[in-house]
Amino acid sequence: MLQSVTILQKNVSLSEVNLVLYDSREISESELVGKKFLYEEEKDHGNDIVPYFVHCVQRESRDHETRVSRTRESWTKLLLLIIRSFLVLSWLPKIALGSLHSVLVKRFDYSSSALQQLLLRITQIETLEEEVREQKRTLLSGRLLTMIVVDILTGITVACIISHYASVNDIYTYFCSWTKLLAGSVERLLQWLSGVPAGLKLNQPLTQALSAFFSYHVHLWRLYLELADPLLRSLAWVLVWLGMCGASVQVAILSDLLDLATLHLYCFYVYGARIHMLQISLLGSQWRAFRGRKWNPLKQRVDSHDKGGHVSLTRVLTAVVFTLVIFLLPTTTIYYLVFVLLRVGLNLMRGAMSLTVWLLNINPLYLVLLNLSASNRVKGDIYFSTVSAPEVNKHSVCPVAAPLVLHLHTWPTALSEVLVHAHTDDFPPKPSPDWKLIFSSIMFGENLL
């Protein structure tokens, strides 16, 4: 029963006292509470007690920290040794891979997901080393550790299962035969297009020319595959051993191999898209010119531009070009449609694989386990509960001189908040495609998918 309270040798009336009962372990062990109620030194917290209170409790617990046990120290030392040796081993490959990645991105505008994933993994291990070195058990270090361990275990399991059924040579020959099959089916597709595909009547000379052009391209691709066979065989060995680094690296390598195997389809898509864009822009400009208008790129709008009058050379030429393009449109559209559908299908597969890699990267297993075991470290929110006043006070009119009693409890934060607002250089953001851009690039062919 609280009798009196004195602050700085002055007696404080009990009716102005708020008594808050709390569990100091809950607040001191939770790092999320400190982040949510941020204490800034400069701001005046006279009227806003909660951040200052959290800051004081955590500072007090830090000062009174007990020594860590011997076994935990030796475990952290062992872990640090493993991580440091890995970092030293991977220092040279990291520079090589980094430069290769930047060259690919700048020159060929191609970001290889396997290289990205490897570089990300090395960055994560570096961050982990920093955190473990400081001897703090933060949420970040726990998450990274569980994620890397789960990843490597899954990778090794998958590699063992696959090597149980087939050796590396078998896998490579299977992959080669699959690419040859793909080339054969693309040639059959082109022959089908050059005839009467799905009953549509195409412009014969144009379709024969396009089909011959694309078939020659496929023939060159086949030749290239046969020449590059021995080099790719040795590369396969390297890739399998690289896959031991984790399941996410394996999926990333698979996605890269898919890109490499369907390179000719990408080339066809680019040719088709360029022809389609040319046709669409010609159609648009000739349609406007026939009506006496012109697109003004300076002001980004359509202006009127009627120089010759109704029966002039400009008008005749416009009509001729427009008619030509309109009659050739179905043929090229069919080719473009076929290649765009193939490209979109391959992009969907690539998207699915990058989503798998992202899921493996932001493994929420650690946080879920902590949540289930009701650990204090995941608690990020606080709430107060009041103690109900005794009945006799309810009927009195004058104010009662008694302190207000509150209980402080902590509450676990939502999983999505911790996952989403985490550190972005260690955990990549969700790959979300820009649907508007995709739609416009399919319709007009200006940007490439």
Partner 1 sequence: MLGSSSGSQLAYRNVQGDVIFVDVRLDPSLCNKRALEVCVSGGRIQFVPWLGYTSILAMMAFITQMHTIHLAWLLLAVLMQLATFVYRVRGKIVSESLLVVAGLGVQTTATFYTGKQHTRFIPWGDVIDIIIAETISMQRVLFYMALLVKRDKAVPTPKLIPLFLNTWPRLACLQHIYRACQEVLSPDFKVK
Per CB under 8 A, residues contacting partner 1 are 15-16, 18, 20, 37, 43, 45, 47-51, 381-384, 386, 388-389, 393-394, 396, 399-400, 404, 406, 411
Residue 141 CB, shortest distance to partner 1, in Å, is 27
> In terms of CB distance, is 54 or 147 closer to partner 1?
54
> In terms of CB distance, is 19 or 270 closer to partner 1?
19
C-alpha–C-alpha distance, residues 7 and 13, integer Å: 11
Angle of helix 139-165 relative to helix 113-133, nearest 10 degrees?
A: 140
> In terms of CB distance, is 75 or 411 closer to partner 1?
411
Residues with Cβ < 8 Å from 104, sequence gap 6 or more? Answer: 110, 111, 112, 115
C-alpha–C-alpha distance, residues 252 and 353, integer Å: 7
Residue 386 CB, shortest distance to partner 1, in Å, is 6
Element (H, E) at 207: helix 204-227
Residue 399 CB, shortest distance to partner 1, in Å, is 5
C-alpha–C-alpha distance, residues 339 and 345, integer Å: 10
- CA distances for 30 relative to 23, 43, 365, 423, 440, angstroms: 12, 23, 18, 18, 48
> In terms of CB distance, is 45 or 94 closer to partner 1?
45
Classify residue 330 as exposed, middle or buried by CB count within 10 Å of its CB (0-12, 13-18, 19+): middle
Residue 55 CB, shortest distance to partner 1, in Å, is 12
What does residue 406 show for φ and ψ, rounded to 5 degrees? -130, 145
C-alpha–C-alpha distance, residues 261 and 175, integer Å: 9
Contact 449, 437 (CB under 8 A): no
Residue 4 CB, shortest distance to partner 1, in Å, is 16
Residue 19 CB, shortest distance to partner 1, in Å, is 11
Residue carrying the six token digits 């700085």: 8
CA atoms within 13 A on the CB side of 343: 23
Contact 261, 232 (CB under 8 A): no
> In terms of CB distance, is 39 or 322 closer to partner 1?
39
> In terms of CB distance, is 22 or 295 closer to partner 1?
22
Q: Spell out the alpha helix ranges (H) of 197-310.
A: 204-227, 229-242, 247-261, 263-290
> In terms of CB distance, is 71 or 386 closer to partner 1?
386
Residue 50 CB, shortest distance to partner 1, in Å, is 4
> In terms of CB distance, is 53 or 172 closer to partner 1?
53
C-alpha–C-alpha distance, residues 270 and 264, integer Å: 10
Contact 233, 141 (CB under 8 A): no
CA atoms within 13 A on the CB side of 26: 15
> In terms of CB distance, is 277 or 405 closer to partner 1?
405
Residue carrying the six token digits 């590059």: 228
Residue 34 CB, shortest distance to partner 1, in Å, is 13
> In terms of CB distance, is 22 or 271 closer to partner 1?
22
How many CB atoms sit inside 10 A of residue 104's CB?
14
- CA distances for 331 relative to 53, 196, 197, 200, angstroms: 74, 11, 10, 9
Residue 418 CB, shortest distance to partner 1, in Å, is 17
Residue 45 CB, shortest distance to partner 1, in Å, is 7
Contact 210, 331 (CB under 8 A): yes
